[in-house]
Chain A
Amino acid sequence: MTIRPLAAAALCLAALTACSTTDPDAGPGDGDGSGIRTGNGVTDSEIRIGVLTDLSGPFKAGAAVQVQEKKAYWAARSAQGGICDRKITMDVRDHGYNPQRAVSLYRSMAPDVVALQQVLGSPAVAAVLPLAEKDDLYVGGMGWASVALEYQVAQIPGTTYSIESANAVDYLVDTLKVPAGSTIGHVYFEGDFGGDSLAGAEHAAAARGLKIHPIKITPQDSDMSAQAAALERAGVKGVILGASPSQLSSLASVLASNGVDVPLIGNTPTFSPALLNTPAREGLLKNFYTVTSVAPYNGEGAAVKTAAEMFEKNAPDGTKGWEVPLAYGQSELLAEALEKACENGDLTPKGVVAAMHETSGLDTQGLFSGTLDYTKPGEPPTRKVFVSRADPEAPGGLKVLDTIEGPSALSYKFE
């Protein structure tokens, strides 16, 4: 039995002598013939980007649409000569809304990609962003929660939920004429989507002299009867919903059935065109609005039309929703950053992040509201949102009414 400890000791000794604490690679990275520095995920002919998404969990429907559109975008882009003379390939992994799996998959992807075009699902985002920050790896398409602003590597596609909700309050007061002193309801998911949405609404309500009646729910709650009754009792003059289509469907139909005729404004992820085929249709057509920083499928801009054409060509039977312009827009944002990184001669992950932060005054041809400015850390690139209404005629079920940037949206402070 004495052999074992001896062997162990020898092994330890061997391991210790094999240790080194000085980094031989601490110098600058590799360059190629053209003078462009490259790192993970970039070869002479290929730029590899990652998508870490949820294709088997609760968000698989919208996620699949986005993956299809992105694939089409990058295929087209590569066919046109690519970026920096390189083709772009996309590595898609499915974490199934399991954050631990997302972390493991991140570990397997991170060494092989120059950027993560998308990380979907807020628990996965919360888990992956700190790792990406440490690795200086670009992350896009992580939803619109304000928490993303804390990370240098994150490029938020539009404004935040809090700004959306603040604009929603402004819209209720200025356009829909909800009088000061009224109460408005706010039904929201636990977590940073709902929490961020509530924060913006509370700020705006205080600024505009309204009271908020908050109701927290979980994604499993699909029967909003009790919540609707509570809103009715509170005498709300409007409702903001930071949830998903299931809850919108139930809430809109119950409110309509009970004769509660007040506007219902949802954050971006709240609406799905399929809802117009459910019993909620009447209520939605009458009272539903949505505030989004990405254009709906039926948006006016030239790029939105391109996005829609591309989608219909590649997926004729696909669900036409706001995910299509979003996926296209995110691809445009990343392409912009990659192009700039190429110009800067630094196509390493770190270089892409730096290039992304040089983007300002970007006009996305109607994909996102307003011009985008990513130069100010901790601030969203815009505070403008689209306001749309449910419309059975419009492809995607939404028709843009207006683009607004309300006073309380402008005065909202990020901490």
Chain B
Amino acid sequence: MSDRPAASLRLDSPLRLISSLRLDSPARAAGAVLLLAAVAGPLWLTDFWLQAGLFAMAAAVGAIGLTLLVGVAGQLSLGHAFFLGVGAYTYTLLAGEREDGMSGFGLPPVAALLAAAAVAGAAGAAFSPIAGRLRGIYLGLASLGLVFLGRHVWLNAEDVTGGYNGRTVEAFAVPGFSFSDEDPDYLAVLGTPFGELHRLWYLFLAVALLAAYCGRGIKAGRAGRAMAGVRDGETAAASVGIRVARVKATAFTVSSVYAGVAGALTALAFGRVAPDSFALTVSIDYLVMIVLGGAGSIAGASAGAVFVSVLPLMLVQYSAHLPFLSAPGSGGVDAATLSRFVYGVAIVAVLIFLRGGLAGALRHLGIRTARAGRPSRPARPAERSTPKESAP
């Protein structure tokens, strides 16, 4: 264990524990219990919770990708929703059938899912020259433009995307087994009928675990160290032979691959793709996920994803049991309003009170903008923090 200040945020999540196989035994036991609970989830969860779990796991995959980009590599992106959308639409187009005036390629869903990752990754790589030229807030805002431009394309390319209302998504399947209510039409495990949600649960769980495993590997490996080096000082990184532009491009590409998979999973969980699922608020939600969890932390991103996707559902679902809530439409604080309040307060509170943890992880975002005169954490008496000038 490192002796980081206690202020740093530690949100233990199943994924963190599961993926940290080298933790000491109580943690391993807890991880095993959580993993078992997750594996057994479809046996004891209702459809509502299965559905919420699917959205949360899809979000976790996307959040891990974003935390690699923003938290590890220090590149602020407000464009994550765009790459999610690219993945979702790619999967839908490739796996979908040609019908109702919609284009479709009818490819095997596995191939379509891999292609969704690849196409989103390619989109990220294509954006990376821009990312290489811009830094900090400039980069964030350029990527914000991406979200609006993407939305425009999705609204207008109606024969591919279905326009505003989107199109239905082909169920996921491997040869001989479909992750839907068909093929086999009836499947029961330990007496519980396994329908679409139950089957998808295992697909999502596997993908999310793989995403966390790979995320950890990337972060801890040569590529992750290079990203962190770029985040903590581009000049110093270059001085040990790290190609800064290439590392940024890699980070964007990796993050977009994650986003592509997450987008496809979201589409599968949702059963539809529509432009609203990839709006600016989605980008912001993803940023909030990684900030709440602690930027740069794989486990934190997963925990943040679960919190952000499940909280509003939970409050709406159980609003009737919360005595202080008023009925929707009556003008008091209803469940939806409360969940917005909780969400906002969570963001503000984490940033103000959990300084060391979250802000600490974000502090190297690398946003050193036009205010170059502002000293940035000199590690030492800043004898010469100001630029030296020579007499003309």
Direct A–B contact in the complex, CB atoms closer than 8 angstroms: yes
Which of A's residues lie within 8 Å of B, judged by CB? Answer: 11, 15, 18-23, 26, 55-57, 60, 63-64, 67-68, 92-96, 98-101, 103-105, 107-108, 110-111, 122-123, 126-127, 130-131, 134, 147, 190-192, 195
- Closest 5 interchain pairs by CB? A55-B328, A64-B329, A108-B48, A191-B164, A56-B336
Partner of A110 from the list B47, B190, B334, B335 (CB cut-off 8 Å) is: B47
Q: Which parts of B267-287 form the interface with A (CB within 8 Å)?
A: 269-272, 274, 276-277
B328 touches A21 (CB 8 A): no
Q: How far is the CA of A68 from the CA of B329 in the complex (A)?
A: 10
B277 close to A108 (CB less than 8 A): no
Which of B164, B166, B181, B269 lies at the interface centre, i.e. has the most chain A CB atoms within 10 A of its CB?
B164
Q: In this assembly, does B34 line the interface, its C-beta being within 8 Å of a C-beta of chain A? A: no
B329 partner, pick from A60, A105, A126, beta carbons under 8 A: A60
- Chain B residues within CB distance 8 Å of chain A: 39, 46-48, 50-52, 55, 155, 163-166, 168, 181, 184-191, 193, 197, 266, 269-272, 274, 276-277, 312-313, 316-317, 328-329, 334-337
Do A131 and B271 touch (CB < 8 A)? yes
CB neighbours of B334 from chain A (8 A): 55-56, 94
B340 nearest in chain A by CB position: A56
Q: Which of A19, A68, A101, A123 contacts B189 (CB 8 A)?
A: A19
Given contacts A101-B316, A105-B317, A123-B276, contact A11 B165 (CB under 8 A): no
Expressed in whole angstroms, the Cα–Cα distance for A18 and B271 within the complex equals 28
Within the complex, what minimum Cβ distance (angstroms) separates A308 from chain B? Answer: 20
A311 CB to closest chain B CB (Å) equals 14
The one of A23, A99, A107, A192 in contact with B277, judged by C-beta atoms closer than 8 angstroms, is A99
Chain B at the A interface: SS class? helix
Least Cβ distance of B103 to chain A in Å?
A: 17
Q: In the complex, A131→B190 CA distance in Å?
A: 26
Task: Determine the distance from Cα of A63 to Cα of B336 in the docked complex, in whole angstroms.
Answer: 15
Closest residue of chain A to B335 (Cβ to Cβ) is A94
| Chain A hits for B186, CB < 8 A | 20-23, 26
Q: A192 to chain B: which residues have CB within 8 Å?
A: 163-165
Q: Are A19 and B163 touching (Cβ within 8 A)?
A: no
- Report A-chain residues with C-beta under 8 Å of the C-beta of B188: 19-21, 23
Cross-interface CB contact of B165 among A15, A98, A126, cutoff 8 Å: A126
List 15 A-B residue pairs with CB atoms under 8 Å apart, sorted by A's residue number: A19-B188, A23-B185, A23-B193, A55-B334, A63-B329, A95-B316, A98-B312, A100-B266, A101-B312, A103-B270, A105-B316, A108-B51, A126-B272, A130-B271, A134-B181
Asked if A103 and B336 sit within 8 Å, CB to CB, the answer is no
Beta-carbon nearest neighbor of B47 in chain A: A107
B166 touches A126 (CB 8 A): yes
Taking CB atoms, residues of chain B closer than 8 Å to A22 are: 186
Contact B274 A127 (CB under 8 A): yes
Smallest CB–CB gap between B361 and chain A, Å? 28
Assembly CA distance A166 to B163 (angstroms): 22
Q: Inside 8 A of B46's CB, which chain A residues have their CB?
A: 107-108, 111
Decide if B165 touches A123 in the complex (CB within 8 Å): yes
CB of B55 within 8 A of CB of A100, answer yes
Report yes or no: B328 in contact with A92, Cβ–Cβ below 8 A: yes
Residues of B contacting A127 in the complex (Cβ-Cβ under 8 angstroms): 270-272, 274
| Minimal beta-carbon separation of A169 from chain B (angstroms) | 23
A60-B329, A104-B55, A191-B164 in contact; A15/B272 too (CB < 8 A)?
Answer: no
Contacts of B165 in A (CB 8 A): 122-123, 126, 147, 191-192
Which residues of chain B have C-beta atoms less than 8 A from A26's C-beta?
186
The residue of chain A having its C-beta at the shortest distance from the C-beta of B58 within the complex is A100
